[in-house]
Amino acid sequence: MSAFLEGVRARASAIGARIVFPESADERTVRAVASLARQRIVRPVLVLDPAQPGSHAAARATGVECIDPERDPRRLALTATLLELRRHKGLADAEAERLATTPLYFADYLVRTDDVDGCVAGAVHTTSDVIRAALWLVGPAAGVRTVSSAFYMVAAPFRGAGAEVLTFTDCAVVPYPTASQLADIAIAAAADRARIVGDTPRLAFLSFSTRGSAEGDSVTMIRAAVEEVRRRAPDLAVDGELQGDAALVPDVAARKAPGSSVAGHANVLVFPSLDAGNISYKLVQRVGGAVAIGPIVQGLRRPCSDLSRGATSDDIINVAAITALQSVRDAAVSLGR
């Protein structure tokens, strides 16, 4: 395990966050929850699946708090909440009642009401399922209109003695962001980096151009996004447009972007599209040998994390620890309007 992940688990343990897991019929989740409780990384809560009663015994054997949504009186309040939020979109009474006993929606309702500090799902559910439930019941953070994602890339040393953790955003949710959506993505990534990594975010908006070396529609969009971030979050260290080498390599930055406080030292890379972000993280992972942790959902009012359906129990533990760190409310970065 990398020093970064060891540190994430240790800092999460100090928080004592209550994290809910709605996929209690999944063996990987049950193993992860048992380990999380034993190591006291988080205080796990399992939501039982009424559709799979045969899984309840294994869930209860972990010794953690287990909730049966069919028997819990909060399902009535959840039904009413769903109808209040979604009736105008065509949600019928019967469907709201069904969703209220669905583990994923019940878990996110616990996040909504602050009964728990965050939710971890996705080992069974698709990303669209996880994001939809979170948007319905938790919603975006104040000042953020766009929910997005980031990968935390643990890369080999390339500008110093130790391994580096880079934030790549967005790599999984928003295909072709507008300038304002890019600003949302960047501000949310900065806030989460301050919580998760614990250092000062330095944001580089990436492009094929560095400070006017080329022109194009995407370059114009990136410049507008940078200006919006500077207006909404003036304390953030941000620059763009920057090419990848100018963002990451000090010698190149000195030639291409002299005087920049970010160029050459960036740790948050904001990609202009999902194409660019997704391709880049996979190349850095597979060719560069970096460890990719994520996708980590960002920009929600309270954290609801998405797992890969190929996740291992260790992956679930790591995402749970990151979710605990995301739940800390006094982030060093303001989500400005």
How far is C-alpha 273 from the chain's CA centre?
Answer: 17
51 and 154 part of one domain? no
For residue 332, tell me if it sits in a domain.
Answer: no
For residue 335, tell me if it sits in a domain.
Answer: no
17 and 35 part of one domain? yes
Q: Is the pLDDT of residue 20 over 90?
A: yes
188 and 59 part of one domain? no
Q: How confident is the model at residue 278 (pLDDT cuts 50, 70, 90)?
A: very high
Q: Is the pLDDT of residue 1 over 80?
A: no
Q: How confident is the model at residue 332 (pLDDT cuts 50, 70, 90)?
A: very low
34 and 79 part of one domain? yes
161 and 286 part of one domain? yes
17-55 burial, b if ≥16 CB within 10 A, otherwise e? bbbbbbbbbbebbbbbbbbbbeeebbbbbbbbbeeeeeb
225 and 152 part of one domain? yes
For residue 97, tell me if it sits in a domain.
Answer: yes
- CA count, 13 A, side-chain hemisphere, 174: 26
Q: How far apart are CA 49 and CA 254, in angstroms?
A: 57
> Which DSSP category does 261 fall into?
S
For residue 337, tell me if it sits in a domain.
Answer: no
Q: How confident is the model at residue 335 (pLDDT cuts 50, 70, 90)?
A: very low
181 and 243 part of one domain? yes
Query: Which is nearest to 147 in space by CA: 177, 106, 168, 121?
Result: 177
pLDDT of residue 308: 84
For residue 183, tell me if it sits in a domain.
Answer: yes
For residue 154, tell me if it sits in a domain.
Answer: yes
Structure tokens at 163: 């391994």
% pLDDT > 90, the chain: 87
Average pLDDT, the chain: 93
196 and 105 part of one domain? no
CA dihedral 133, 270, 268, 256 (to 10 degrees): 180
Mean pLDDT of all residues in 227-256: 96
66 and 101 part of one domain? yes
Give the global pTM: 0.88
pLDDT of residue 314: 93
For residue 333, tell me if it sits in a domain.
Answer: no
283 and 308 part of one domain? no
> Which DSSP category does 155 fall into?
E
Helices (H), the chain: 3-15, 27-39, 56-60, 74-86, 93-100, 103-112, 127-137, 179-196, 217-232, 244-248, 250-256, 274-286, 313-326
pLDDT in tens, 141-151: 887 789 999 99
% pLDDT > 70, the chain: 97
* Sequence-ordered list of residues with C-beta below 8 angstroms from that of 36, at least 6 positions apart, any chain: 19, 42, 44, 317, 320
For residue 304, tell me if it sits in a domain.
Answer: yes
Q: How far apart are CA 20 and CA 160, in angstroms?
A: 39
Q: How far apart are CA 92 and CA 238, in angstroms?
A: 46
pLDDT of residue 312: 93
Quote the number of domains for the chain. 2
Asked if residues 173 and 131 have their Cβ atoms less than 8 Å apart, the reply is: yes
279 and 315 part of one domain? no
Phi, psi of 47 (to 5 degrees): -100, 120
157 and 216 part of one domain? yes
pLDDT in tens, 179-235: 999 999 999 999 999 999 999 999 999 999 999 899 999 999 999 999 999 999 999
Domain that holds residue 61: 3-139+300-326
pLDDT in tens, 31-74: 999 999 999 999 999 999 999 999 999 999 999 999 999 999 99
CATH code, domain with 275: 3.40.50.10750
Q: Is the pLDDT of residue 163 over 90?
A: no
Q: Is the pLDDT of residue 334 over 90?
A: no
Query: Which is nearest to 326 in space by CA: 172, 150, 80?
Result: 150
pLDDT in tens, 105-147: 999 999 999 999 999 999 999 988 999 999 999 999 887 789 9
Asked if residues 216 and 209 have their Cβ atoms less than 8 Å apart, the reply is: yes
Phi, psi of 327 (to 5 degrees): -75, -15
CATH code, domain with 85: 3.40.50.10950
CB atoms within 10 A of CB 73: 6
